[in-house]
Amino acid sequence: MGVRRRKVDLELLTCAWHGHALGTGGAAGRRPDPVLVRETADGLQWYRCLRCDVWIPSRKPLEQGVAAADRSEITVPERGRALRDRYVLRLIALDRVLHFLLLGVAAAAVMVFAADRSRVSGPFYRVVDALQNGVGGAGARPGTGLIGELEKGFEARASHLWLLGGILAAYALLEGVEAVGLWRARRWAEYLTFVATTVLLVPEVWELTHRVTVFKITALVVNVAVVAYLLYAKRLFGLRGGARAEQRERDEDMSWQALERATP
């Protein structure tokens, strides 16, 4: 018999990081809501976490929300599918932050190089000459490898370098906007990320036809997974009922009916 694996409980993980979202017993003079508060014969009160369903004991009423009159005044925190989507979107956002940093550094490097190419060209060519005509006679072949790519950079027109730097900076800005929007779970950011990532799949596949590397394969797999998740799980472009169907699922997991079903 195989070992049954337990799924990661995102609700418990979130409560461990941010603290419990405790239910309350209602206003003074009202009977405590059994979904939110339980009382035992020894005078102990148990407050229910609305996120992870854990019961917290207390000898005296907790201050948080004690005056809440009814359920309509209590906001159920993200749980179930809503919380899962929040974590996935933030993982994608962190990936976009990494892209933003790398592209930003690349853009800055290209622009600095374009602005001060004449000063660094002398030392560079002295190094190339040493590699090609060093002691022992055998050096790097002209125009090949990294040296060859750097030589092309020194020979490129300044306008081309500034254009490349501008493109990299614009792409970095796009990735930064995606990261912020996804972190805040904005619907427009999901569409923006889907379109931008889908467009970039074409050059990524084309690159693999010329040279296959672990980095390129990993990047392609990650981007395909992001596109598939956004299209299917987030129901973009009306797929599987669109935003309304997604909102119904979220509301169902965060409803009082769901809390009552999970109440022991």
Q: Look up residue 249 and give its two tokens.
A: 């699922």
Q: For residue 145, tell me if it sits in a domain.
A: yes
Residue 212 burial (CB < 10 Å; 0-12/13-18/19+)? Answer: exposed
Residues 202 and 170 in one domain: no
Residue 253 burial (CB < 10 Å; 0-12/13-18/19+)? Answer: middle
Q: For residue 264, tell me if it sits in a domain.
A: no
pLDDT in tens, 96-148: 999 999 989 888 888 887 777 666 655 555 555 555 554 444 444 444 444 55
Q: For residue 108, tell me if it sits in a domain.
A: yes
Q: For residue 3, tell me if it sits in a domain.
A: no
Residues 136 and 215 in one domain: no
Residues 124 and 178 in one domain: yes
Residues 121 and 53 in one domain: no
Q: For residue 257, tell me if it sits in a domain.
A: no
pLDDT in tens, 53-108: 888 887 665 554 444 446 777 888 999 999 999 999 999 999 999 999 998 988 88
Residues 175 and 203 in one domain: no
Residues 193 and 171 in one domain: no
Q: For residue 71, tell me if it sits in a domain.
A: no
- Local structure of residue 185 (DSSP, 8 states): T
| Biggest distance spanned by C-alpha atoms of the chain | 96
Q: Look up residue 38 and give its two tokens.
A: 């339980």
pLDDT in tens, 143-196: 444 455 556 666 677 777 788 888 889 999 999 999 999 999 999 999 999 999
Q: Which residues form the domain of 48?
A: 10-62
Which residues, at least 6 apart from 11, have a Cβ–Cβ distance to it below 8 Å?
51, 52, 53, 79, 83
Residues 116 and 154 in one domain: yes
Q: Is the dihedral of CA 27, 32, 34, 37 positive or negative?
A: positive
Q: What domain count does the chain have? A: 3
Q: For residue 82, tell me if it sits in a domain.
A: no
Q: For residue 78, tell me if it sits in a domain.
A: no
Amino acid at site 254: M
Angle 254-255-259 from CA coordinates, rounded to 5°: 90
Residue 48: how many other CB atoms lie within 10 Å: 25
With contact defined as beta carbons under 8 Å apart, do 201 and 226 qualify? no
Residues 53 and 110 in one domain: no
Residue 231 pLDDT exceeds 90: yes
Residues 106 and 117 in one domain: yes
Residues 192 and 165 in one domain: no
- Note the pLDDT of residue 129: 58
The share of the chain scoring above pLDDT 90, in percent, equals 32
